[in-house]
Amino acid sequence: MNLDRIERPLCMAGLVLLSPVLAAVAVAVALEDGRPVLFRQVRAGRNGSPFNLLKFRSMRVTGAGTRVTASGDSRITRTGRILRKFKLDELPQLWNVVRGDISLIGPRPEVPAFVDLADPAWREVLEVRPGITDLATLVFRNEEQILGAHSDPEYAYRRQILPAKLQLNLLYIRHRSLLTDLRLLAMTIYLSLMPDHFDSGQIQRQILGDARS
């Protein structure tokens, strides 16, 4: 059992309740850096099917740059730094859930260029619907800081972070339960409100301890 049956109504209600916040963020983005307010990026969905993932735009409109973001990236706007810290840029993905593109909880959808369909691990991960948040996303909530320490952030992402995320995704899928999903959802909300309380080790102990027992 999981949240699939109730997540669409929940997200529709969330969009209504959060409409003042959504409007305020949209205005803030537009005032600093103009339009578009939303950023759309093609991601690999269930079974590898592409879809457009929605975010509030946190970076300047430019064709240059890598496909990953490291701390100190000059493309990030001042408003964007705040949005990314509190994960407010992710709120439009509630609409992706309503559309059926993703779930609330599930493996975070990747850019197709980072997906290897020849890898059995990737094929297993892509059998389930991706999500707004998951275990790997929480464990690597400080991903931008990790990548900021490398001269080639995209190479570091491919070689270090992505394989670790893939293993966490597999662990989550094989031990998924309603209780685990509720815990991940609660942790996501808590860390969005209290980002300075992030502790990767504590997240792994709380979730992985149960999964590996």
d(CA 115, CA 122): 7
Residue 211 in this model has a pLDDT that exceeds 70: no
What is the per-residue pLDDT for 152? 93
CA dihedral 7, 43, 52, 187 (to 10 degrees): 30
What is the per-residue pLDDT for 82? 96
Residue 209 in this model has a pLDDT that exceeds 80: no
Mean pLDDT computed over 131-152 = 94
What is the per-residue pLDDT for 212? 54
Mean pLDDT computed over 6-14 = 94
All structural domains of the chain with their residue ranges: 4-212
pLDDT in tens, 178-203: 888 999 999 999 999 999 999 888 88
